[in-house]
């Protein structure tokens, strides 16, 4: 492990630096972090990252759920050294945390996926490459060198394309596939709707598609003549300019080939499969040679169905409140799902992780590990891969301190007895 990434030293580091006149670049609390990011990002970019669905009560529900539990400390537990390691589906995690799959990281910073990969290598915390990344999975995998990662998949209308994404992910070294199931249609996101902004239309976040031979083949039947779009000529030219700029390859080659316009049209036509059902999921499991996990499960019956199909793990997630307004929180869902699944079944908690205490609570309630989402995106916006390392260190430092004060020398000792309902 890189010696510079040591959360245990973080508190001392901050106070020592402070004595020398340096303030932390990344605000330690989430509210200030989000505020700082909002000041440096464009309105469209910040809106896309921060937005929830509808009145955003899903985001609030996640926070409220964490607040409904308290931790019971344990004194004089004689802990000298902590063991924060965890294993999940063959992955060795130095801490029970991974980076959530986040699409269009270029909105936070150009080459965002590669900057995250750099932070992943330095911290040894695995990332999950998004289906909607702005850099192809092969390029990100290369930047990750030997660092383990998973790939997150959306099930598109073309099964051939899905198969190829899976095969590419396996070929470039992914150790697991997470199929995200809660986005068969895009949530009603008021900030994006007010801004009339969707990054994909501008050629952002579609690199897995544009680097795919099966997708390129599908472009052959796109007939631009028959599909006229709305808008005046200046708006169309501006959109075209943005698209040609964002699309891989040279601007003028893109202009000549018309491929970017065709690719966006095709992407919009096929990216989701609203009719997706359990047979499709079973098919995915059958064609995959690496563990398959399902993301977006909140109901115990869906968890049981996944287990019946031999699915290897579940990511309990409400997509950061981005899909349904007033959706139940992931943490509340974890409590119910934990009751029905076999004891050691891999459950991952995603949505609402902001602090080290949140991680502690999720583990106490039965999660094997958690996913960190928006906090690392804001930190990436503020200070690139260094920002990601800083926020990660902060969160894990608080996690370690909580473990010590609650009398937990290792991950296994973080159990429900450490918590009490408010």
Ligand X SMILES: Cc1cc2nc3c(=O)[nH]c(=O)nc-3n(C[C@H](O)[C@H](O)[C@H](O)COP(=O)(O)O)c2cc1C
The distance of closest approach from Cβ of residue 153 to ligand X in the complex, given in angstroms and rounded to an integer, is 9
Backbone angles phi, psi at 177, to 5 degrees: -120, 130
Backbone angles phi, psi at 405, to 5 degrees: -70, -20
Residues 93-122 that bind ligand X (CB under 6 A): 100-103
Is 299 among the catalytic positions?
A: no
Q: Which of 84, 148, 152, 413 binds ligand X (CB under 6 A)?
A: 152
CA-CA distance, 310 to 295, in Å (whole number)? 15
Neighbours of 85 (CB within 10 A): 12
Q: How far is CA 278 from CA 1, 179, 323, in A?
A: 40, 12, 20
CA-CA distance, 168 to 136, in Å (whole number)? 10
The distance of closest approach from Cβ of residue 152 to ligand X in the complex, given in angstroms and rounded to an integer, is 5
167: helix, coil or strand? helix
DSSP H helices, 221-373, are 233-246, 251-257, 259-270, 278-287, 300-308, 330-340, 356-364
CA-CA distance, 137 to 153, in Å (whole number)? 11
Q: Which stretch binds ligand X (CB under 6 A): 23-31, 130-138, 265-273, 298-306?
A: 130-138
User: Toward ligand X, which CB reaches closer, 5 or 48?
Assistant: 48
314: helix, coil or strand? strand
CA-CA distance, 317 to 397, in Å (whole number)? 24
Look up residue 7 and give its two tokens.
Answer: 């959360």
Residue 189 makes contact with ligand X by CB under 6 A = no
- Whether 60 and 318 have beta carbons less than 8 Å apart is answered as no
The distance of closest approach from Cβ of residue 326 to ligand X in the complex, given in angstroms and rounded to an integer, is 15
Q: Which stretch binds ligand X (CB under 6 A): 63-71, 212-220, 347-355, 386-394?
A: 347-355
User: Toward ligand X, which CB reaches closer, 66 or 254?
Assistant: 66
Binding mask 353-382 for ligand X (x = CB under 6 A): x-------------------xx--------
User: Toward ligand X, which CB reaches closer, 205 or 366?
Assistant: 205
Residue 202 makes contact with ligand X by CB under 6 A = no
Residue 394 makes contact with ligand X by CB under 6 A = no
Residue 49 makes contact with ligand X by CB under 6 A = yes
User: Toward ligand X, which CB reaches closer, 178 or 411?
Assistant: 178
User: Toward ligand X, which CB reaches closer, 356 or 413?
Assistant: 356
Q: Is 12 exposed, middle or buried (0-12, 13-18, 19+ CB in 10 A)?
A: exposed
Q: Which of 7, 112, 126, 352 binds ligand X (CB under 6 A)?
A: 352
Q: Which of 350, 358, 390, 400 binds ligand X (CB under 6 A)?
A: 350
The distance of closest approach from Cβ of residue 121 to ligand X in the complex, given in angstroms and rounded to an integer, is 20
Residues 249-308 that bind ligand X (CB under 6 A): 295
CA-CA distance, 113 to 99, in Å (whole number)? 11
The distance of closest approach from Cβ of residue 128 to ligand X in the complex, given in angstroms and rounded to an integer, is 8
CA-CA distance, 166 to 169, in Å (whole number)? 5
The distance of closest approach from Cβ of residue 208 to ligand X in the complex, given in angstroms and rounded to an integer, is 10
User: Toward ligand X, which CB reaches closer, 244 or 354?
Assistant: 354
Residue 179 makes contact with ligand X by CB under 6 A = no
50: helix, coil or strand? helix
User: Toward ligand X, which CB reaches closer, 244 or 359?
Assistant: 359
Look up residue 242 and give its two tokens.
Answer: 């943005």
Q: Which of 84, 120, 123, 131 binds ligand X (CB under 6 A)?
A: 131
Look up residue 83 and give its two tokens.
Answer: 């063991």
Closest C-alpha among 38, 80, 31, 208 to residue 137: 208
Rg (alpha carbons) of the chain, rounded to whole number: 22
The distance of closest approach from Cβ of residue 135 to ligand X in the complex, given in angstroms and rounded to an integer, is 13
Which among 22, 241, 299, 319 is annotated as catalytic? 319
Q: Which of 319, 338, 393, 418 binds ligand X (CB under 6 A)?
A: 319
User: Toward ligand X, which CB reaches closer, 262 or 319?
Assistant: 319
The distance of closest approach from Cβ of residue 346 to ligand X in the complex, given in angstroms and rounded to an integer, is 17
Strands 149-153, 127-129: pairing is parallel
Residue 125 makes contact with ligand X by CB under 6 A = no
Number of residues that bind ligand X (CB under 6 A): 21
410: helix, coil or strand? strand
- Whether 4 and 121 have beta carbons less than 8 Å apart is answered as no
Closest C-alpha among 50, 63, 56 to residue 381: 50
Q: Which stretch binds ligand X (CB under 6 A): 84-92, 125-133, 164-172, 271-279?
A: 125-133
Look up residue 73 and give its two tokens.
Answer: 């400390």
Instruction: Report the interface residues with ligand X, using CB under 6 A.
Output: 48-49, 100-103, 130-132, 152, 180, 295, 317, 319-320, 350-353, 373-374
* Active site amino acids: 319
């Amino acid at each position: 492990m890189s010696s510079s990434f040591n959360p245990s030293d973080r508190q001392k580091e901050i106070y020592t630096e402070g004595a020398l006149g340096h303030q932390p670049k990344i605000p330690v609390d989430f509210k200030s972090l989000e505020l700082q990011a909002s000041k440096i990002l464009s309105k469209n970019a910040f809106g896309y990252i921060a937005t929830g669905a509808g009145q955003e009560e899903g985001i609030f529900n996640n926070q409220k759920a964490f607040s409904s539990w308290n931790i019971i400390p344990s004194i004089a537990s004689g802990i000298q050294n902590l063991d924060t390691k965890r294993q999940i589906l063959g992955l060795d995690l130095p801490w029970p945390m991974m980076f959530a799959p986040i699409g269009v990281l270029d909105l936070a910073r150009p080459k965002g996926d590669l900057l995250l990969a750099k932070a992943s290598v330095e911290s040894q915390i695995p990332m999950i490459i998004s289906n909607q990344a702005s850099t192809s999975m092969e390029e990100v995998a290369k930047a990750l060198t030997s660092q383990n990662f998973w790939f997150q998949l959306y099930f598109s209308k073309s099964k051939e394309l899905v198969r190829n994404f899976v095969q590419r992910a396996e070929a470039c070294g992914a150790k697991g596939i997470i199929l995200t199931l809660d986005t068969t249609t895009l949530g009603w996101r008021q900030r994006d709707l007010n801004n009339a902004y969707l990054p994909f239309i501008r050629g952002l976040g579609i690199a897995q598609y544009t680097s795919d031979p099966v997708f390129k083949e599908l472009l052959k039947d796109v007939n631009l003549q028959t599909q006229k779009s709305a808008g005046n000529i200046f708006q169309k030219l501006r959109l075209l300019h943005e698209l040609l700029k964002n699309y891989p390859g040279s601007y003028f080659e893109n202009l000549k080939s018309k491929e970017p316009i065709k690719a966006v049209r095709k992407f919009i036509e096929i990216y989701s499969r609203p009719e997706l059902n359990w047979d499709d999921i079973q098919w995915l499991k059958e064609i995959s040679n690496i563990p398959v996990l399902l993301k977006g499960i909140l109901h115990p019956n869906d968890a049981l169905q996944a287990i019946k199909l031999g699915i290897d793990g579940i990511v309990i997630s409400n997509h950061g409140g981005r899909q349904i307004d007033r959706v139940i929180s992931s943490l509340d869902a974890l409590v119910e799902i934990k009751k029905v699944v076999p004891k050691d079944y891999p459950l991952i908690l995603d949505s609402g992780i902001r602090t080290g205490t949140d991680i502690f609570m999720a583990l106490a309630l039965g999660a094997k590990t958690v996913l960190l989402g928006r906090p690392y995106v804001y930190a990436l916006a503020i200070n690139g891969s260094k920002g990601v390392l800083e926020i990660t260190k902060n969160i894990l430092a608080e996690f370690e301190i909580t473990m010590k004060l609650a009398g937990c020398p290792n991950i296994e000792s973080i159990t429900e007895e450490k918590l009490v309902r408010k």
